[in-house]
Structure 1
Amino acid sequence: MGPVRVAVIAASSQERASLQALVEANPALEFLGSAADAGTLLDCLAGSVPEVIVTDSAPAAGDALKTLFEPSHASPSLVLLSDDPDSDWILDALPADAAAILPRDAMPGEIVVSIEAVATGLCVLPPDILARLLAATRQSQQKPSGEPFEALTLREIEVLAMLADGLGNKEIARQLDISDNTVKFHLSSIFGKLGATNRTEAVMLGMRHGFIMV
């Protein structure tokens, strides 16, 4: 196999240069180009198709990004660099296919290993996100069809309503005057009671069962 073809999308020119140097320093990787956004990157690539894109864009941009490439080509896998890699909003936008989520200050070796992993079809996730995904899957598998939902507490309903308004963890914590960890605790309880796997599903189930109205 030849080197993994890698492109970079990052808002900061300094970060683009740093990631380019990282890729070019590794003989197992081939740098194709970089840009501040997906559209500009497509022009820079001049028809070349990367196997992996390293980006600091929101995960939701991943699917839109992939539509830029010809359907005849395999979609590039994504390595996402985030300031808050274990945040719940990432769960909602997590790409369905191979992807890695890393903190923005990840070590160079971690980024390289993640690039190589997603190029082979693997996912690289922070332990906290992986644990919540597994817990949600187990909860969904264990809840028999038609089983009544456990009632939410008043505080959980407050949190769920704020989810429906699109608020993130930090905003919820600020409005309720509680810690981020307490918000995460409430979200975990809400997901467990509703059998939801992400924030969007929790809101939909909350509406369906009358806990909130939008």
Structure 2
Amino acid sequence: MSPIRLILADDHVMLRQGTLALLAREPDLIVVGEANDGAEAVRLAEMLRPDVVVMDVRMPNMNGIEATRQICSRTLGVQILVLTAHEDDEYVFALLEAGASGYLLKTAPVSELVRAIRGVMAGESVMAPSIVRKLVNRVSGRKTHPAEDEIEALTGREMEVLRLLAQGMTNKQIADTLVISDRTVQTHLSNIFAKLAVSSRTEAVLVAMKRNLLQAP
């Protein structure tokens, strides 16, 4: 089995190199590139086509949110795992909406980071417990929820996209599976978000699970 190829994007050089040294102990992980900022992360992702980018949030030139958005829209099969000290709502929901598959805090042990890398590579959504609580609270605490007829208004194609989304697929993977364009997938996601009254991929899956929408017809 081929090793999981990684890019580490973090403007703190000592922390990045420390992470690299720790990950080097894992035989199935290999760091193929390091980025000092979001713009370099996008460039390296396009050039090296890694499996996973471990992405910080606050970086110079281009932050992790915009870098995640660009990588997810341009690059085939690259998963984004956020590794940051910041858990503010504005960062969490923006990154998940941009397409990040996981969100860990830098206080996590290395063993958890390793599991998360393997998890997002396997198509899972990997979240720190505090991030999961934010998502659940956001979904459960909404003052307004979409009515049942709005849920039923999801088209057959939107339901297909939603189910593939729940499997951890990227926009590109969904497009290839359904033989449609990336732009069409994004249009379907925008419609799904509006109908479910959510603003991110993970929220959409949570609401869909809560309403039993993911069962195959």
Could you state the TM-score of these two structures normalised by the residue count of structure 2? 0.55
Per-residue CA distance 1:139-170 (angstroms, 9 max, x = gap): 66984639xxxxxxxxxxxxxxxxxxxxxxxx
Structure 2: 5+ residue stretches without partners: 59-63, 149-195, 201-217
Q: Provide the C-alpha distance between the structure 2 equivalents of 1:127 and 1:41, rounded to a whole number of angstroms.
A: 27
Q: Provide the C-alpha distance between the structure 1 equivalents of 2:33 and 2:19, rounded to a whole number of angstroms.
A: 10
Q: Provide the C-alpha distance between the structure 1 equivalents of 2:144 and 2:46, rounded to a whole number of angstroms.
A: 50
In the alignment, is the contact (CA less than 8 A) between 1:42 and 1:68 conserved in 2?
no
Equivalent of residue 70 in structure 2, options 64, 73, 83? 64
Q: Provide the C-alpha distance between the structure 1 equivalents of 2:32 and 2:103, rounded to a whole number of angstroms.
A: 21
Where 2:5 maps in the other structure, the secondary structure is strand
Instruction: Give 1:7 shift.
Output: 0.7
Per-residue CA distance 1:170-199 (angstroms, 9 max, x = gap): xxxxxxxxxxxxxxxxxxxxxxxxx96569
Instruction: Please name the residue that 1:34 is paired with.
Output: 34
In structure 2, what residue type is equivalent to 1:22? Answer: L
In the alignment, is the contact (CA less than 8 A) between 1:52 and 1:115 conserved in 2?
yes
In the alignment, is the contact (CA less than 8 A) between 1:8 and 1:33 conserved in 2?
yes
Instruction: Please name the residue that 1:190 is paired with.
Output: none
In structure 2, what residue type is equivalent to 1:66? Answer: C
In structure 1, what residue type is equivalent to 2:20? Answer: Q
Q: Provide the C-alpha distance between the structure 2 equivalents of 1:6 and 1:43, rounded to a whole number of angstroms.
A: 14
Where 2:70 maps in the other structure, the secondary structure is helix
Going from structure 1 to structure 2, the CA distance change for 1:144 and 1:88 (only over 3 Å counts) comes to closer
Q: Provide the C-alpha distance between the structure 1 equivalents of 2:95 and 2:47, rounded to a whole number of angstroms.
A: 27
Instruction: Please name the residue that 1:209 is paired with.
Output: none
Instruction: Please name the residue that 2:105 is paired with.
Output: 103
In the alignment, is the contact (CA less than 8 A) between 1:91 and 1:198 conserved in 2?
no
- Which residues in structure 2 correspond to 1:1-214 (within 5 Å)? 1-41=1-41, 47-58=47-58, 59-61=64-66, 62-67=68-73, 69=75, 73-74=76-77, 76-85=78-87, 87-96=88-97, 97=99, 99-138=101-140, 143=145, 145=147, 197=198
In the alignment, is the contact (CA less than 8 A) between 2:146 and 2:197 conserved in 1?
no
Structure 1: 5+ residue stretches without partners: 147-194, 200-214
In structure 1, what residue type is equivalent to 2:89? Answer: D
Instruction: Please name the residue that 2:165 is paired with.
Output: none
In the alignment, is the contact (CA less than 8 A) between 1:98 and 1:122 conserved in 2?
no
Give the count of matched residue pairs: 145
In structure 2, what residue type is equivalent to 1:19? Answer: T
More displaced 10-residue stretch of structure 1: 39-48 or 109-118: 39-48
Q: Provide the C-alpha distance between the structure 2 equivalents of 1:45 and 1:133, rounded to a whole number of angstroms.
A: 28
Going from structure 1 to structure 2, the CA distance change for 1:4 and 1:108 (only over 3 Å counts) comes to same
Q: Provide the C-alpha distance between the structure 1 equivalents of 2:133 and 2:101, rounded to a whole number of angstroms.
A: 16
